[in-house]
Structure 1
Amino acid sequence: MKKRLLVTFIGVGLVGCSSNETEEVMIMAAASLNDAIDELIEIYEQDHNVDITVNYGSSGQLRQQIIQGAPADLFLSASIADMEEVVEAEGIKSSTNLIENTLVLIATPEIASTLTSWADLTTAPYQGLAIGETETVPAGRYGKQALESMGIFADIEDKLIVGKDVRQVLTYVQTGNADVGIVYETDARVAGDAVTIVAEAPANSHDSIHYPIGLLTTNNSAANLYEWLQQDEAMATFESYGFQKGE
């Protein structure tokens, strides 16, 4: 069932910096956003007097770091649940659903021919299914939900190879440390010919994959970036990586 993130605004606007000094913005962002955010930062810094630093990781680990006091101006999560915990703990300034993604089963090209569906995971001759840690990695949690929905999680649990975030899961498959894996479609696209998408997970087999963005501070430069990331120029970059605009 699709969840909706409560959106709260306190009049954040596109405000300018009061000095010529370069302002700093710290972002905590889900690992699956790495390539898109890196490109967006490059675009944004060309026209704005700001120095943006990003810490990538699993949304659950980043959520814990923020709540424990790690400095952050913006939080881009791959999980509504992790954002909601930060909202509750930090008194977040503003938040909204930004983009969406799709969960897919991938395989090495050598193994892909033996897999035509998720159900084949119980019979195909593969070595290791890479999946994100199910408590802290949203893609891992969605993956477990999908496998349980299909009734096959218990049958393949002993084949799981757990990654600290979705990009580590992708690397396991790219390097052959696992024959198959569960990642987002955007991650599979970044990998190119190194992996093959076997099948998408049925939409009703797991929680909807929303990426909320939250503004954590009153930093004017962070507020400007928060607003810009929701505009057409930034959204076009997200979509070029396979993300869909959030609803």
Structure 2
Amino acid sequence: MIRILCLFLCLAAPVRAETVTVFAAASLKGPLDQAAEAWQAASGHDVQVAYAGSPTLARQIRQGAPADLAILAHPRWMEWLADQGVAGAAEAVPFLSNRLVLIAPGEASAAPLTPETVATLLGPDDRFAIALTDAVPAGIYGRASLEALGLWDSVSDRLLEMENVRAALALVARGEAPLGLVYATDALAEPAVSVVAELPVDSHPAIVYPLAVLAETEAADAFAAYLTGDGRVSFDDAGFLRPGADDL
């Protein structure tokens, strides 16, 4: 009887809650927090999210930071992790996509994408806010687009490069820069800025956020499955797009 009772108690015991640690691109804050909160309530597990620029996150993961999931904003950094031998990085899947926009503080009108427009919006001593153009995905995509559109020479010597795209957004929102380049989802989330122009999607490489499970735990796998399934609604509502099957 005692053995039977012990077996019953073991079977009836609740599953031990686990904590899933996610390293995520700064531009995902908001919808990812919402998705994590919903999944926590349904699963009983905890989610902790560290947000930063993708190169910062990739380097921290490479140095041994305990990330169970990684969602970066450019395949380049996920490929780098795979090359460094980080488990799970080579199995990354395309998760989200986005668009690029030019923004201005307050209520600004739409304008054509020309050097003259840029010159009008940028005063003689003003700076152009953008994420780091040689490392941060929004900056990499942004530079490619500006070059393709013939706008790079108008801003290249006036850049105010930031460590992540949300920092560039904040500069424009505070009026510290009269013009900036961010993701469309960033502009949508910040009421203090207006979209001046949307950059054509064919002016830069496809924007892809790869997702990789880096730790083989049931909770990490379950949260990844939720994000790529029912949890997508949070990102859809925030304006994110779904990448093509061949984008990664």
Q: Same fold (TM over 0.5)?
A: yes
Q: What's the % identity of the aligned pairs? A: 35
**Residues 18-37 of structure 1: pairs in structure 2 closer than 5 A:** 20-37=15-32
CA contact 2:110–2:197 (8 Å) conserved in 1 = no
Which letter does structure 2 place at the counterpart of 1:142?
Answer: Y
Q: Which residue of 2 aligns with 1:101?
A: 98
Distance 1:162 1:58, change over 3 A: same
CA contact 2:110–2:196 (8 Å) conserved in 1 = no
Of the three residues 228, 236, 239, the one matched with 2:236 is: 239
- Measure how far apart 1:91 and its partner are: 3.1
CA contact 1:73–1:216 (8 Å) conserved in 2 = yes
CA contact 2:110–2:195 (8 Å) conserved in 1 = no
Distance 1:125 1:65, change over 3 A: closer
Q: Which residue of 1 aligns with 2:112?
A: 116
CA contact 1:122–1:152 (8 Å) conserved in 2 = no
Q: Which residue of 1 aligns with 2:217?
A: 219
CA contact 1:108–1:195 (8 Å) conserved in 2 = yes
Of the three residues 7, 12, 33, the one matched with 1:38 is: 33
Gaps of 5+ in 2: 1-12
Q: Which residue of 2 aligns with 1:91?
A: 87
CA contact 1:67–1:86 (8 Å) conserved in 2 = yes
- 1:206-226 Cα offsets, whole Å, 9 max, x none, are 111011100111111001111
**SS of residue matched to 1:145:** helix
Once residues 75 and 24 of structure 1 are traced to their aligned partners in structure 2, the CA distance between those partners, rounded to angstroms, is 14
Which letter does structure 1 place at the counterpart of 2:218?
Answer: N
- 1:159-218 Cα offsets, whole Å, 9 max, x none, are 2111110000110000011011100000000012x1111111111211110111001111
**SS of residue matched to 2:29:** helix
**Residues 1-247 of structure 1: pairs in structure 2 closer than 5 A:** 20-89=15-84, 90-92=86-88, 94-109=91-106, 112-113=108-109, 115-119=111-115, 120-126=117-123, 127-192=126-191, 194-231=192-229, 233-247=230-244
CA contact 2:18–2:219 (8 Å) conserved in 1 = yes
Distance 1:85 1:207, change over 3 A: same
Deviating 4+ runs (over 6 angstroms): none
Q: Which residue of 2 aligns with 1:4?
A: none
- Measure how far apart 1:237 and its partner are: 1.3
Mean CA deviation greater in 83-92 or 167-176: 83-92
Which letter does structure 2 place at the counterpart of 1:166?
Answer: V
Distance 1:19 1:72, change over 3 A: farther
- Measure how far apart 1:151 and its partner are: 2.3
CA contact 1:114–1:125 (8 Å) conserved in 2 = no
Q: When the two structures are superposed, what TM-score results if normalisation uses the length of structure 2?
A: 0.86
- Measure how far apart 1:136 and its partner are: 2.5
CA contact 2:106–2:173 (8 Å) conserved in 1 = no
Larger radius of gyration, structure 1 or 2?
2
Paired residue total:
227
